[in-house]
Each structure stands twice: as C-alpha cells, then as structure tokens.
Amino acid sequence: MVDNRYATALVIACVLSLLATVYLSVAVGTQHWYQYSSPTVRGEANVSELRSLYDEFMTGEFDEKTYSDTLFRLNGTVGLWWRCVLVPPAAHWNREPDAKMLLECRNFTLPEQFTPKYKEPGNHNSGEDMLRTYLWRCQFLLPLASLGLVVLAGLIGFCACLCRSLTPTLGIGVLHLLAGLCTLATVCCYLAGMDLLHRVSMLPGKVDGSLGWSLYLALISSPLHMMAAALLVWAARSHSQNYYRMTAYRVA
C-alpha cells in the first residue's frame, strides 16, 4: 500500500511531466524561437530587392546566407523546424503596407538539418564551421531525445501501475532528469548558435532581434521536468527506506 504522501508526490510529478511535455512539443513544432523586426518596405528599388529575396526564400535552393538575409529584412521568425517571413499580399508589394501581412513559412528538411555551416555563410570555400554545425545538429536532436526519454518513462510508469509497484520510480525520475537536461541543452545550443550566426552575418541597420515565445516554452519545460524528477526520486527513496525499516521491524 502506498502512503498518501508518496501518492500525492506521484500525482504532482505526473502533472508536471505532462505540462513539460506539452510545452516542449509546442515549442518544437512552432517557429517563434527567434524573431526579427525589420523596417517598413519603402521605395521601388527596395521593394524589388525584397521581392527577389522572398522568391528565392520560397522557391530557391537551401542556402544559409539567402534565408538569413531574407529573415533579417522581412520580419522573419526561425525555429527548430521552420523559418517564416511576414510579407504583404502579392498585389500590395508596391503600396504602403497598410494591408494585412501574411506569414509565409518553409520547413527545414531532414537533409537540411544536417547541412554543414560555413565560416562565411553562403561561401562554401571558406571552410566548415564545426562549432556552428554541431550546435545546429544538437539543437535539432536534443529535444527529440528529451521527448523520447519522457515517452520511455511514461511506458515504464504505465507498466509499473499495472504491476502495482513503486520499484521503477527511481529510474523514471532519472529519465525525467535527463529529459530536463536535454531540453536545457537545446536552449543553450540554440542561443549559442544564433549568437555565432550574428557574429558572422551582421544584421542590417534598424533590424532588431529578440527571443520568441517558443523558446521560452522550451525553457519553462526544463525545470518542470526536473521538478517532476525530484518528486519521483524522493518518493522512490522514501518509500524504499520505509519499506526496509518495516521489514527490519517485523524480523526483529
């Protein structure tokens, strides 16, 4: 029989784990990790240049410099799987942007996620930037690892419930701790990668960058997983100690 304190800790840990998993899943699937604020489109020459960038962004070959320049100039947002720009409807490119802006997105394909980054974006002769390359790959793989660890923990927990056993609780707590660390590492890799990108690709004048709500969701999910892990480990250790004490008392 499970003590009420342990049962309460397990319920709270399950709720925290569910919230953290939902937050992380939403963060991974949305593009608002980093966003740029660009000046208003003005002037015929400026419009033609931006329209050319947009067309290349939507239909051209994958190139880091091309899509980065487009994000800088067209109020872009970029996440783990998506890159998006805000543009006016086709009929309003040459007018004042009073019309409602449209969000146009392209996803990063699996091969694109593993494309090397170069010391000078767009210049394949400049040599591969190993640090940026592996930071990008880590920010793509680590959240998947985190979600996989939580799914594994959930399966183990479900089996433990069927068997009416608290024995696997410690292992489930450790899995949640690893998931929280993977999520935190994802955010760190993303921020480091964006900082390095801005060092090698100077932002145009009057363009500002800021963190988006998707990144904050991922950042929130990490401590939630860790709190769930702490509750699970506490419940497992306390229940184990009480069990051994009761066993020793009965033997005595």
| pLDDT score, position 127 | 84
The model's pTM is: 0.85
**Mean pLDDT across the stretch 176-184?**
95
* pLDDT value of position 183: 95
The mean pLDDT of 121-132, rounded to a whole number, is 84
Q: pLDDT digits over 31-62, tens only?
A: 999 999 877 665 555 677 778 888 888 887 88
Q: What is the pLDDT of residues 190-237, one digit of tens each?
A: 999 999 988 888 777 788 888 999 999 999 999 999 999 999 888 877
pLDDT cut 70: percent of the chain above it? 85
Of 249, 241, 145, 180, nearest in space to 20 by CA: 180
108 sits in the region (left: phi over 0; alpha: psi -120 to 50; else beta) called: beta
b/e burial code for range 212-235 (CB count within 10 A of at least 16 → b): bebbebbbebbebbbbbbbbbbbb
Listed in sequence order, the DSSP H helices in the chain are 4-29, 44-59, 64-73, 110-113, 130-163, 169-200, 213-251
Q: Is the pLDDT of residue 1 over 50?
A: no
- CB distance 79 to 30 below 8 Å: yes
* Three-state secondary structure call for residue 50: helix
**Domain 4-241 has what CATH class?**
mainly alpha
